[in-house]
Amino acid sequence: MIEAIIDTDPGHDDALAIMLAAKSGFFKIHALTTVAGNSTIENVTRNARFVLKLLEREDIPVYSGERKPLVRELIQAVVHGKSGFEGLDPTNEPNLTNNAVEKILEIVENKPDKIILITLGPLTNIAKAIQAKPETMRKVKEIVMMAGAIKVPGNKNRVAEFNAFVDPEAADIVFKFPIKKTIVPLDACNHVKLQISDFEKIRNKTLQKPILAMVKPYINNISKDLGVKAALMYDPLTVYSLLNSKACIKKEYNVMIETKGEFTRGMSVADLRKKPSEKPNVTVVERISEKEFKRDFIKCLSLKG
Q: Does the N-terminal peptide bond of residue 11 adopt cis geometry, omega within 30 degrees of 0?
A: yes
* pLDDT 10s digits, 219-278: 998 888 788 899 999 999 999 999 999 999 999 999 999 999 989 999 999 999 988 889
Going by C-alpha positions, the residue among 185, 196, 192 that lies closest to residue 292 is 192
List Cβ neighbours of 184 (8 Å cut-off, separation of 6 or more). Answer: 144, 145, 146, 147, 234, 237, 238, 241, 285, 288
pLDDT at 81 over 90: no
* pLDDT 10s digits, 180-227: 999 999 999 999 999 999 999 999 999 999 999 999 999 998 888 788
Q: Is the separation of the CB atoms in 264 and 159 below 8 Å?
A: yes
Going by C-alpha positions, the residue among 211, 248, 249 that lies closest to residue 231 is 211
pLDDT at 134 over 90: yes
Q: Please report the domains of the chain, with CATH numbers, ordered by start residue.
A: 2-301 (3.90.245.10)
Supply the pTM of this predicted model: 0.95
